[in-house]
Amino acid sequence: MNYFTRMIIVAGALVPSLMIAEKSPVVSSPKPNVIVIMVDDMGYGGVSCFDNRNFKTPEIDRLCAEGMKLTDFHSNGAVCSPTRAALMTGRYQQRSGCDEVVNADPRVPMHHIGIHADEWTFAEAMQSSGYATAIFGKWHLGYKPEFHPMRHGFDEFNGFISGNIDAHSHMDRMRVQDWWQGEALKDEPGYHTDLINKHAVDFIERHQSEPFFLYVAHGTPHSPHQARASKIQRGPDKGKIPDWAPEETYSKDRKSEDWLIRHFILPVDEGVGQIRAKLEELGIADNTIVWFVSDNGGTGGNFTTSPLTKGNKSQFYEGGHRVPGIVWAPGRVTPGSVSDELMLTFDIMPTSLDMSGIEAPEGLELDGVNLAGAIFKNESLPHKIRFWNMGSKGALRDGHWKIVVSGSESLLFDLEADPRETKNIATQYPERVTEMRRVYDAMLEETIADSPYTKPEKPKSKASKPAKKKN
């Protein structure tokens, strides 16, 4: 049991007896349904079954209590687009050239990059195997028509391309209307989370008798932070409360520090409950696997960071990429089980492909691994080394050892002895640091070589500054 499991149990979020529940048999069923629910900018402190000390998230907690809690689950990126590229390709985001945030501003070079037509995506793989496929919510993998989700294996799309939109007016931060229905830019009135939930449940209902792959990509709790009854922040109706806004029910105390975030996150929690209830109502829960993950760590402004982890979004300390991870699969996953195995976003695709009997095209090697043994049988995974990078910053994990890289500097942490990364012990282990840095540099060089893009050179005066983290 590692520090994170221990601390979570101490915090009372899990009943320890659940952890020793008997193993469930693995049900062998062809083409199980796959649902990936991805929240945006939610750190370890975002849900109460992990470390939310401010309020409860009952439906997500129920998913966790009935499924497996992944205590060492990490987003591939410390910001939005890179993690989403890794999810969609099963590979390090450097290979698809989507290793930085796709920017909403057309004057910025990173506005024009996106997921290349040559990529073999998660959705394409599932679609080609007879799955109905849909994404509802945030795409954030490029603005050009060739980057659109409908060109990358999705049959259906209701949502947005940008890194964030106004929850009501659906305008991005450049004040551009950004709500799509399929390939058409066409608004739908409603609070973004409610629209995503509605479409997800409707899609499940319509495809109950065939295998489906559903990507539920919430824009919450990314800024702008808006509850259902919050004012519109962007567009001609700025300052108004939308007609459709219902009365808030979770708390009347608007003075409470977490009021806004509570009312922002709990509609997502409701949606998780609606999805689970619909699967059970239709009798397809035992042939469905639901993943609940975040795309990067929390921000100070959304109160989802956790004192169990250091740092936050855009950083390569644990707070930037160690995120809540849950897998729920009745009959397959032991209820209340916990896995301390190191897992990353890009492992979800190879795990799903294996379960559905889909093989990658010849010559294509995925970086992610099949997690089936860990999540269905609670087995240990083979040892693996993992890296994170954006610009001049990054990290490398080798077992419980981790280096955090900034330019030419490498800090060393022992996550077993020091999970909060408080003591840089690089000077005590110079040979280990040198070797881990060598591996980091080699992995970065090898993956970037696959990128279809030549990155624009950054002005030298800014080379040592932190990478832009907007969005």
Q: Give the ranges where 251-408 is alpha helix by DSSP (H).
A: 259-281, 318-321, 348-356, 372-377
Shortest Cβ distance from residue 299 to Ca ion (Å)? 9
CB of 332 to Ca ion, least distance (A): 29
| Closer residue to Ca ion (CB): 40 or 341 | 40
Question: What six digits make up the tokens of 106?
Answer: 């057309």
The two tokens of residue 392 are: 């001049």
Return the number of the residue (13 or 47) whose C-beta is nearest Ca ion: 47
What is the spatial distance between Cα 390 and Cα 296, in angstroms, rounded to a whole number? Answer: 13
Pairing type for strands 73-74 and 343-344 reads parallel
Which range binds Ca ion by CB under 5 A, 27-35, 92-100, 294-302, 324-332?
294-302
**Least Cβ distance, residue 285 to Ca ion (angstroms):** 29
User: Please, what is the minimum distance in Å from the beta carbon of residue 41 to Ca ion?
Assistant: 4
Residues 18-47 that bind Ca ion (CB under 5 A): 40-41
Which residue, 387, 364, 399, is CA-closest to 437? 387
For Ca ion, the closer of residues 295 and 347 by Cβ is 295
Alpha-helix residue ranges (DSSP H) falling in 67-120: 80-89, 93-96
Q: Give me the least distance between CB of 141 and Ca ion, in Å please.
A: 13
Nearer to Ca ion, 101 or 132 (CB): 101
Between CA 158 and CA 399 the distance in angstroms is 40
Q: Are 270 and 59 in contact (CB under 8 A)?
A: yes
Tell the smallest beta-carbon distance from residue 325 to Ca ion (Å).
15
Q: Please state, in angstroms and rounded to a whole number, the distance separating the CA atoms of residues 319 and 316.
A: 7
Q: Is the CB of residue 26 less than 8 Å from the CB of residue 332?
A: yes
The total of other beta-carbon atoms located within 10 Å of residue 226's CB is 23
We find the least distance from the C-beta atom of residue 74 to Ca ion, in angstroms, to be 14
- Which CB sits closer to Ca ion, 297 or 419? 297
Residue number, 99 or 295, with CB nearest to Ca ion: 295
- Chain-centroid distance of CA 349 in Å reads 13
Q: How far apart are CA 48 and CA 154, in angstroms?
A: 32
Distance CA 151, CA 357 (A): 23
Site string for Ca ion, 254-293 (x = CB under 5 A): ----------------------------------------
Peptide bond into 246 cis (omega under 30): no
Based on CB atoms, which residue is closest to Ca ion, 147 or 401? 147
Q: Which residue is nearest to Ca ion (CB)?
A: 80
**Closest distance of CB 301 from Ca ion, Å:** 13
One of 72, 258, 269, 295 touching Ca ion (CB under 5 A): 295
Which residues inside 65-124 make contact with Ca ion, applying CB under 5 A? 80
Degrees, nearest 5: CA angle 413-372-41: 50
- Nearer Cβ to Ca ion (192/332): 192
Q: Which is nearer to Ca ion, 80 or 327 (CB)?
A: 80
Sole binder of Ca ion in the list 52, 121, 197, 296 (CB under 5 A): 296
The answer to whether the CB of 346 falls within 8 A of the CB of 87 is yes
Question: Which among 324, 285, 303, 322 has a CA at the least distance from the CA of 421?
Answer: 322
Give me the least distance between CB of 295 and Ca ion, in Å please: 4
DSSP assignment string, 376-387: HH-PPPPP-EEE
> Site for Ca ion (CB under 5 A): how many residues?
5
From the CB of 282, what's the least distance to Ca ion, in Å?
31
Q: Which is nearer to Ca ion, 77 or 190 (CB)?
A: 77
Interface positions with Ca ion (CB under 5 A): 40-41, 80, 295-296
